[in-house]
Amino acid sequence: MSKIDSSNRAGSRLPAGSCPGRRAFLGGALGTAAAFGATRRARGASRTEITFASAKFFGKETVAQVVEAYNASQGRVHVTYVELPPPSESTEVHQLLVQQLARQTGSPDVFTQDVIWIAEFAGAGWALPLDQELGADVRKQYFPGVVQACTWGGKLTALPWFIDSGMLYYRTDLLGGAAVPETWDELVSIAQSVEKSGRARFGFLWQGKQAEVLVCDLVEFIASNGGAILAPDGKTVLIDDEKSVQAVQFMRDTITRYKISPQDVLSWDEEPSRRPFTGGQAAFLRNWSYVYTIAQDPKASSVVGKVGVAPLPHFPGGRSAACLGGYQYGVNASTKNRDAAIDFVSWMSSPATQLHFATELGLAPTRPDVFDEPRLAESQPFMQKLKPVFLGATPRPVTPKYAQVTLVLQSSVSRALADGNVKQALAGAKDRISAIVAT
Ligand code: GLC
């Protein structure tokens, strides 16, 4: 039985200049399928088998390939990867996980959880507290805000994977000498002039589909006007305040009044809004960090070398705001393979693996030493530049009832965007959310 590579663990550090290249990281793991099959057969009998369920992420590589690299890196544990729908289908991924975890059969042994589910999964007792195995010395290797997001009821119930935040993608060649917009008014005016001149079909693309991402965009518009969905007390609902009403009105105005966004944004989530942008048809796009890797890939993009990334604009008197996203690892509290599960998540969250996820899949590291690694700056220059955006991102309401809260927000804001009765829709949302968080 081969020894587990102890340099690639959650508690290990990334020595300067030691970043493994893509080839070295995969270490032959992704050789021919036949070779891999042979390895499995030879080692299979002595290995602990565990299952890992995660939403589907992709870039130059897939999560499945990284899991195979773990399998090939050691001989004690074999992980079978169960691919769930992509994170844009957040409600469906959540539903699938809840069904599995609530059965308490121990399957899947390991899962990934969107930052918005951590409170719910911990509160239900489905996520194993990891404090014993991953002590203060390990926790201090991550950004404190992410560790806080992974902590519920004083216990670490998730291990950090990647941090996400909303950002503004823009076409450097279409600005026509104008500065990158810092306010929504500036964005409207540049977008209108680009459309008018015929240099791009669309001014500004965002995500208005009745789905989780609509709540992410909503948080950004509202927070960039100095508002919030929920007050810090977690009980007072602010969604019908003047600042929120103005923000939602602006979202609708981008379509109906300023005409910088097509009606289609109301049915678009991440990928449908990303494609026209990397296809060269839009001046501005709000999206997550994964888009950068695709925008710079000549096989997938017609705007290579013409894309800049900046903090999202704000309203007068407000400040730029990005929604906090990202997925984190969880160990099923009912797992029968605790040691193997912890070994696997430690490897997945290790410096080398985080660097690999960042360079190959565009997922930003949750470890400061990986964030500052020169190889990351080379392949994802915007990450270093937007570090304060990632670290200062605004969370969605943190509550074990988030799954209910988001459905109310999604349906009310969708309706407001479609029929324009913004005040009425948000007043209704306030009543329903107040009832949910009061209990
Ligand atoms: C991204 C974010 C996640 C969010 C989802 C919405 O994957 O990382 O937090 O819930 O988008 O579509």
The answer on pLDDT for 22 being more than 90 is no
In tens, the pLDDT along 61-118 reads 999 999 999 999 999 999 999 999 999 999 999 999 999 999 999 999 999 999 999 9
Provide the mean pLDDT of the chain.
91
Range list for CATH 3.40.190.10 in the chain: 27-163+326-394, 166-322+401-438
219 lines ligand 1 (CB under 6 A): no
Q: How far apart are CA 131 and CA 118, in angstroms?
A: 15
What's the confidence (pLDDT) of residue 45?
66
88 lines ligand 1 (CB under 6 A): yes
216 lines ligand 1 (CB under 6 A): yes
Minimum CA distance residue for ligand 1 atom 3:
325
Helix, strand, coil content of the chain in percent (nearest 5): 45, 15, 35
What's the confidence (pLDDT) of residue 144?
94
CA of 170 to the centre of ligand 1 (A): 21
CA 348, distance to chain mean position in Å, is 16
Please name the CATH architecture into which domain 27-163+326-394 falls. Answer: 3-Layer(aba) Sandwich (3.40)
**Is 3.40.190.10 the CATH classification of the domain at 166-322+401-438?**
yes
115 lines ligand 1 (CB under 6 A): yes
pLDDT category of residue 8 using cuts at 50, 70 and 90? low
CA of 87 to the centre of ligand 1 (A): 6
What's the confidence (pLDDT) of residue 60?
86
| From 6-15, 180-189, 333-342, the region with the lowest mean pLDDT | 6-15
pTM above 0.85, yes or no: yes
Nearest to residue 307, comparing CAs of 167, 173, 177?
Answer: 173
| Region 286-290 average pLDDT | 96
CA of 290 to the centre of ligand 1 (A): 11
Nearest to residue 69, comparing CAs of 82, 78, 57, 60?
Answer: 78
Pocket probe for ligand 1: among 58, 90, 93, 291, the residue whose CB has the most ligand atoms within 8 Å is 90
What's the confidence (pLDDT) of residue 42?
47
The DSSP H or E segment spanning 294 is: helix 290-295
213 lines ligand 1 (CB under 6 A): yes
pLDDT category of residue 358 using cuts at 50, 70 and 90? very high
| Region 347-359 average pLDDT | 97
